[in-house]
Amino acid sequence: MSSTESTYNLLIAELKEIAVFGSVNSLLNWDERTQMPPRASAYRAEQLSAMAKLLHQRFTAPRIGEWLSQLEAGPLDADATVNVRETRREYDRAVKIPESLVQEEARVSVLSQQAWATARKNSDFAAFAPWLEKILPLKLQRAACLGSSARPYDALLDEFEPGETAANVAKTFESLRDPLVELIGRIKDSPNKPPVEILHRRYPAAAQELLSREAAKAVGFDFEAGRLDVSVHPFCSGIGPSDTRMTTRYNENHFGDAFFGVLHETGHGMYNQGLKAEHFGTPLGSAISLGIHESQSRMWENLVGRSRSFWTHFMPRARELFPEAFNGVGDDQWYRAINAVRPSFIRVESDEATYNLHILLRFELEQAMMSQSLSVADLPGAWNEKMKKYFGITPPDAAHGVLQDIHWSFGAIGYFPTYTLGNLYAAQFFETARAELGDLDSQFAKGDFAPLLGWLQRKIHQQGQRYSAGQLVKEVTGKSLSAEPLLRHLRKKAAEIYGI
């Protein structure tokens, strides 16, 4: 074995051992949000803080830097090149963050999440504000450690979407915004309203859970290697190889929150399950970015899950499970109802089109908070103002407004834009899949989702971090990221649903 090979083996073994502790950390997080007794949160903060310290110590050990330097002198094969390149990127970031900050972030974010959950339940922004006041300086401190000349916001965004900048995101979003606002305007003016009241009938939670599980399984989620639970805020966690856990929440007076939520998390889950297990813990076995992750969830939720052909397959079962709600509902009415475009308060329950305005709002507010031009005290007002501006509506309370999302409570600032990036990636990937895989709709109508999933596994999941997000889009679709595929998709839907 050459000295390069043996150094590489040392690095990989160490990364995999660190990943074991990382996966334990993920389990602590999952447990905290789904299982943990309420009074255990203070000690959970200690546990997470100790694990964060351990992880940080192990990953920033000088020997990793030394191994990387040796390996960078080469020669390396293609796989090793990826693992070394991406480990270097992570390593260089990690060594800039002091251990004390890592621990403090871990500790505060657990307590803050608990405070948020209670504050959201009581719709009480004042109860959460002091925690956000603690979170923001920690994030500014992190950005200061990471960034040299970069804007603080960019330093944080880069952690979720490597290589992205606020300026570049803003440019992409702009090419989407005006056509989108124009389209939503025309939809609003259309007299042709879908029968959305169908969705507000009574849908018993047990039957919702059953249909959600059946759909997740049918599209390809492996329940032998995963779970579905209930949590305040839905999420999906890839805890380890063969251990992917997703959550949802049931609203018995609305079809969709849970069902499309589960399809969404299933998309994330299948990305995790599609990563190569033998590379777990190394860049080749890791997801590229949150935007690419989101492209998988949004594809299954919207491009597949809200398609007519998907429901050709699932309608009979849905009618069986919800005989009362579906009484007198035709296939076409159902299809129109689940594709209605309407202003709404809650991001995760919003439609494909307006969703992106929810993101724009958060993207603008969190940039303002990071540049310190918006104070925590002024945040609820700023939120409501933007709701008025983009949607023409005002949230009835903080739970339907500024408190709805968990992200800021655990310090995830710079995270939201990856959601709209995900929508854009998804639409562009899906156009290519359609072109390469023949008649996807007739496959979906037969309940056959394997060709699409297999294509995503080969083209995306199994590649790990071989490519950057931008490179991957080019590699898979032959073109750079553009807003056009999403706009084409939304316009086609609008034509079908609203006759415009």
Total number of residues that touch a second copy (CB under 8 A):
36
Q: Which stretch binds a second copy (CB under 8 A): 122-130, 234-242, 357-365, 395-403?
A: 234-242
Nearest approach, Cβ of residue 104 and a second copy (Å): 16
Task: Show contacts with a second copy in window 238-267 (CB under 8 A).
Answer: 239-245
Q: Which stretch binds a second copy (CB under 8 A): 19-27, 78-86, 298-306, 391-399?
A: 19-27
Cβ-based neighbours of 103, under 8 Å, separated by 6 or more: 49, 50, 52, 53, 56
The pair of three-digit structure tokens given for residue 137, joined into one six-digit string: 């300086």
Residue 35 interacts with a second copy (CB under 8 A): yes or no: yes
Within 10 A of 480 (CB to CB), how many other CB atoms are there?
A: 10
Q: Which stretch binds a second copy (CB under 8 A): 32-40, 87-95, 193-201, 471-479?
A: 32-40
Rounded CA-CA distance 346/341 in Å is 13
Respond yes or no: is residue 265 known to be catalytic. yes
Query: Contact, 441 vs 447, CB < 8 A?
Result: no
Nearest approach, Cβ of residue 228 and a second copy (Å): 10
User: Interhelix angle for 290-298 vs 417-436, to 10°?
Assistant: 60
Nearest approach, Cβ of residue 331 and a second copy (Å): 35
Query: Contact, 407 vs 347, CB < 8 A?
Result: no
Task: Show contacts with a second copy in window 272-301 (CB under 8 A).
Answer: 280
Rounded CA-CA distance 462/79 in Å is 12
Nearest approach, Cβ of residue 123 and a second copy (Å): 22
Rounded CA-CA distance 135/141 in Å is 10
Q: At CA 370, angle to CA 364 and CA 376, rounded to 5?
A: 85
Alpha helices in 228-330 (DSSP H): 257-274, 290-298, 308-321
From 86, 105, 159, 265, the catalytic residue: 265
Nearest approach, Cβ of residue 98 and a second copy (Å): 19
Residue 51 interacts with a second copy (CB under 8 A): yes or no: yes
Rounded CA-CA distance 3/172 in Å is 45
Residue 57 interacts with a second copy (CB under 8 A): yes or no: no
Q: Which residue of 1, 2, 3, 39 would you call a contact of a second copy, by CB under 8 A?
A: 39
- Residues with catalytic roles: 265
Q: Which residues bind a second copy (CB under 8 A)?
A: 17, 20-21, 23-24, 27-28, 31, 35-40, 42-44, 46-47, 50-51, 54, 222-227, 239-245, 280
